[in-house]
Amino acid sequence: MKIIFASHNQNKVKEIQNLLGDEIQLLSLTELGLEEDIPETADTIEGNSLLKAKYIWEKYQMTCFADDTGLEIEALNGEPGVFSARYAGDRKNDDANIDKVLSKLSGHENRNARFKTVITLINEGQEFQFTGIVNGEIGLEKIGQNGFGYDPIFVPEKQGKTFAEMTLNEKNLFSHRARAFHQLVNFITEYKGINS
């Protein structure tokens, strides 16, 4: 059985393939030779995840899934949210995004935030969504060398350190992305109607 994962990120593909086992083969966008940018014009994380999955389904008519992730900060009314990757501009620069968040939060006592990943699976035209959330807070400065994106300033609750201070294995035990992908994997492995 083959399923398309709407991503060029080979690390993500390997991670999910490992969870799925040998019976299901993931095909990345790179393997499909799809280089064009998939539209991400929705105003929610759920919407962008759905847009990407629908784009692939309509193009290939194969079972597929797509994910979208955002950081939502309470004191900033949910920003950067759906604009997380390009919060400081279209260059998608992690350091610039982090600097903008820290600047906007300057003077705020409430630093509550959450990371949210939404995955949309489309099988035979049917849509299914899976959501993973990790609550935490934004630190006062960048700490840690691991991870990517906002990991150096996001401190998950009850952890006492940023995602960027954790190994990938530590982060994958409970991260927003891992929680959403585990739901997806459980659904795929248990759901008998999946066709490719």
Catalytic residues: 68
CA dihedral 100, 106, 109, 112 (to 10 degrees): 10
Sorted by sequence, the CB contacts under 8 Å of residue 190 that are 6+ apart come out as none
Nearest to 59 by CA among 43, 77, 35: 35
The three-state secondary structure class of 113 is: strand
